[in-house]
Amino acid sequence: MRHRQHMIAAGVFVLVLVLVGITGYRNLSYNWQWYRVAQYFFSFEQGQFVPGVLLQGVWVTLKISGISLVLSLIIGLVSAFARLSPYVSLRGLAWCYVETIRNTPLLIQIFVIYFVISPVLDLSAFTSAVIALSLFEGAYSSEIIRSGIVNIPKGQWEAAQSIGLPVSVIYLKVIIPQMLRQTLPMLAGQSVSLIKDSALVSTISIYDLTMQGQKIVSETFLTFEIWFVVALCYLSITATLSFIVRQIENRIRFVQ
């Protein structure tokens, strides 16, 4: 019953959004030229498929987001364990990392890594963007993972220790699976935020989806068409990721 109510509410919201969009579309005094957009996705030259600049931008966005997502989860897991460590130095170091990253804007972090750190370490713009996104999202993932571990009942730890399981096995077989069941929706939301935040890497001249959109708009003045298409591309990526995570979550609940 609740699922049906959610579906009805979502349908009403989409209908209202479509009606508002159609009304604004008709009333806007703008010369729409949608027929010019397709060439920026792909074309065929001598019977061969040639990806357009927008499709190339999507690929760059997917690469940056995919690598950053994996690294952010690893960083989040390590820093979460450090926050729960019995060693004061590890806890303090992890706390400084999490609080510093969470309380400063991502854009400034990208600039610091690209303009200050990358010349010293000879890092490319792509690598700088991946590091910045990984550190930023990893700080948030760390708090999500830590809260999931803390919320596991002490009885689970005591039961695992009573049968003589090593600490590593307790984490792998008992703690982490239960933590994932609790935190998967929040981690999925953070992953969606990472994809949207990746648009900021265009500020350091990485030709991702946003940068390619800016370039096309400056050359063609197809302002609304291109930005609507760019927004739709981001929506498609994040919606696909949300769907995959939802399927994984359903399988975990079914196994449970």
pLDDT tier at 10, thresholds 50, 70, 90: low
pTM, rounded to two decimals: 0.85
Distance CA(182)–CA(198), nearest Å, equals 26
111-160 pLDDT, tens digit per residue, is: 999 999 999 999 999 999 999 999 999 999 999 999 988 888 888 777 88
At 77 the three-state DSSP class reads helix
Distance CA(222)–CA(226), nearest Å, equals 6
Is 199's pLDDT higher than 90? yes
pLDDT tier at 256, thresholds 50, 70, 90: low
Distance CA(240)–CA(75), nearest Å, equals 24
Residue that has been written with the tokens 């209202």 in this structure: 16
Domains of the chain: 54-255 (1.10.3720.10)
Instruction: Provide the pLDDT for residue 142.
Output: 94
